[in-house]
């Protein structure tokens, strides 16, 4: 089983001709509500790309509002076990309010809502689920104390741990030392190392420094440039497929879903990276978060 621990958000996406000024009201549209949140996106990507060969479960929190009900139903529709998705009373579900202007630029405000209440106690309550996992996947849109607790529990149960350290922030070295697969983008990698983002050319050096902190395998994602993957034995670039990208939302989440789905079905790392990249290349040709994540059969068709 794949267990994903993380955020569950509703994305409120509104097209605008230009970004409004402070105090200004402008007309916009179209408007859409799209299921998102890095945790839920990665769980959905795992489910679509594992295609029933490995079960997927999610641990997270939603509020007791309509968005929470809709997002839970969306997970269930993908066949994801939501028995450890908690509904928190008198709390709003996490939302991302996203304005997209005519040039395709985003302005995003995140309100964590129920995601901020995912606690170590929720993780302990899901101990049996985690014990049944082969791989546990985490990001940083829920409290760091909960992420640390979950990683320690997963490790004590002998599980493989994948951490996507997003959104970018610094992390304690003790935490990184417990991670089997660390999957940052180039900005997140730089942030972990206390450096400024420098792009693909330094990914090898960044990966080397992150490995020295104790991660077993580092995969730095580089957008249209692909991925640099390294372990103690060395590293190499995996170039991305060339596609006409229109919206990179959830590209990283889709890559991770494909990578994890393949690893959980016993694929070698190179094969798993290839699956993640094929899926992510399709996702950037579509708009939105979970709306852009392909199913395994679509990769075969492409
Ligand atoms: P996001 O935050 O937008 O979800 P990210 O910054 O976490 O994305 P990226 O490094 O942008 O992650 O992308 C992840 C992977 O998706 C890349 O390693 C690559 O394989 C694929 N990808 C991203 N952008 C493109 C693109 N324009 N063309 C082809 N593949 C892409």
Q: To which residue do tokens 């129920």 refer?
A: 114
The reply to whether the predicted model has a pTM over 0.90 is yes
- pLDDT computed for residue 196 by the predictor: 67
pLDDT for 104 equals 81
Residues 6+ apart with CB under 8 A from 210: 176, 182, 184, 189, 192, 193, 218
Q: Is the CB of 221 under 6 A from ligand 1?
A: yes
Residue 245 CA: nearest ligand 1 atom is 27
Number of neighbours of residue 242 by Cβ within 10 angstroms = 8
Ligand 1 and 277: CB distance under 6 A = yes
pLDDT band at residue 108, thresholds of 50, 70 and 90?
very high
Percent of the chain at pLDDT above 70?
Answer: 98
Q: Is the pLDDT of residue 195 over 80?
A: no
Strand order in the sheet with 94-100: 31-36, 9-15, 94-100, 106-111
Q: Which atom of ligand 1 lies closest to the CA of 41?
A: 4
Q: What integer is the mean pLDDT of 17-29?
A: 96
In this predicted structure, what is the pLDDT of residue 103? 86
Of 41, 252, 257, 260, the one to substitute when testing ligand 1's pocket (max ligand atoms within 8 A of C-beta) is: 252
ipTM of the complex as predicted: 0.97
Cβ 284 under 6 angstroms from ligand 1: yes
Residues that are catalytic: 253
**Index of the ligand 1 atom closest to the CA of residue 187:** 6
Ligand 1 contacts CB of residue 41 (under 6 A): no
What value, to the nearest 5°, has the Cα angle with vertex 199 and ends 172 and 201? 105
> Which residue's CA lies nearest to atom 19 of ligand 1?
226
What is the SS3 assignment for 44? helix
């Amino acid at each position: 089983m794949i267990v994903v621990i993380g955020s569950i958000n509703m994305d409120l996406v509104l097209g605008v001709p230009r970004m409004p000024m402070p105090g200004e009201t402008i007309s916009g549209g179209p408007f859409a509500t799209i299921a998102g949140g890095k945790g839920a996106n990665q769980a959905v990507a795992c489910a679509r790309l594992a295609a029933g060969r490995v079960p997927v479960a999610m641990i997270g929190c939603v509020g007791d509002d309509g968005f929470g009900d809709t997002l839970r139903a969306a997970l269930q529709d993908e066949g994801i076990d939501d028995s450890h998705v908690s509904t928190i009373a008198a709390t709003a579900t996490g939302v991302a309010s996203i304005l997209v202007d005519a040039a395709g630029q985003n302005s995003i405000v995140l309100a964590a809502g129920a995601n901020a209440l995912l606690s170590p106690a929720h993780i302990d309550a899901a101990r049996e689920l985690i014990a049944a996992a082969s791989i546990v996947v985490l990001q940083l849109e829920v409290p760091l104390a909960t992420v640390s607790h979950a990683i320690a529990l997963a490790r004590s149960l002998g599980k493989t741990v994948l951490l996507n350290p997003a959104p970018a922030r610094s992390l304690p070295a003790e935490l990184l030392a417990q991670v089997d697969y660390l999957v940052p983008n180039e900005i997140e990698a730089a942030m972990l190392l206390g450096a400024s983002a420098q792009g693909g050319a330094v990914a090898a050096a960044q990966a080397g420094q992150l490995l020295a902190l104790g991660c077993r395998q580092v995969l730095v994602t580089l957008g249209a440039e692909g991925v640099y993957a390294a372990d103690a034995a060395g590293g190499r670039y995996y170039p991305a497929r060339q596609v006409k990208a229109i919206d990179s939302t959830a590209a990283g989440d889709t890559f991770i879903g494909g990578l994890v789905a393949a690893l959980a079905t016993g694929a070698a790392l190179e094969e798993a990276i290839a699956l993640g990249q094929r899926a992510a290349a399709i996702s950037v040709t579509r708009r939105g978060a979970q709306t852009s994540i392909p199913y395994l059969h679509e990769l075969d068709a492409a």
